[in-house]
């Protein structure tokens, strides 16, 4: 069974631009969560989608948004990029979310210049 895939793997943007990251979950998984990893803050939860609905949201500004499609694929968007948005963005999928273990993709490394 194929794992979680994320595209692109690496991205360089400049301040003020916007970016869209994509995540394809494991086949049959309906829950997709997004996390940001930085050296200072560690792994922080952004939001979770299940059946195209956002069920849970972390403490990030409104510049961070996401969506999920009917095939469970998910995208996250960051508008008006700031230098502090440079991070590894990780996507994780699970069958139904909740207490199920989550399976992570390799991440997208975003660098904002």
Which residues form the interface with other proteins (CB under 8 A)?
4, 31-33, 35, 42-45, 48, 50, 55-56, 58, 90, 92, 94, 97-99, 101-107
Which residue do the tokens 């930085």 mark? Answer: 38
Q: What's the burial of 80, exposed, middle or buried (CB within 10 Å: 0-12/13-18/19+)?
A: exposed
Choice between 17 and 38, CB closer to other proteins: 38
Choice between 35 and 64, CB closer to other proteins: 35
**Residues 6+ away with beta carbon under 8 Å from 99:** none
Peptide linkage before 8 cis (omega within 30 of 0):
yes
Q: What is the closest distance, in whole angstroms, from the C-beta atom of residue 15 to other proteins in the complex? A: 25
Q: What is the closest distance, in whole angstroms, from the C-beta atom of residue 63 to other proteins in the complex? A: 20
Q: What is the closest distance, in whole angstroms, from the C-beta atom of residue 46 to other proteins in the complex? A: 10
């Amino acid at each position: 069974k194929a794992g979680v895939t994320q595209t692109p793997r690496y991205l360089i943007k400049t301040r003020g631009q916007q970016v869209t990251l994509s995540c394809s979950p494991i086949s049959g998984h309906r829950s997709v969560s997004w996390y940001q990893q930085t050296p200072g803050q560690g792994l922080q939860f952004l939001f979770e989608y299940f059946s195209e609905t956002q069920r849970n949201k972390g403490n990030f500004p409104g510049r961070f948004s996401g969506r999920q499609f009917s095939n469970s694929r998910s995208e996250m968007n960051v508008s008006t990029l700031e230098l502090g948005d440079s991070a590894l963005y990780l996507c994780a999928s699970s069958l139904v979310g909740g207490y199920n273990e989550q399976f992570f993709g390799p991440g997208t490394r975003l660098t904002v210049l």
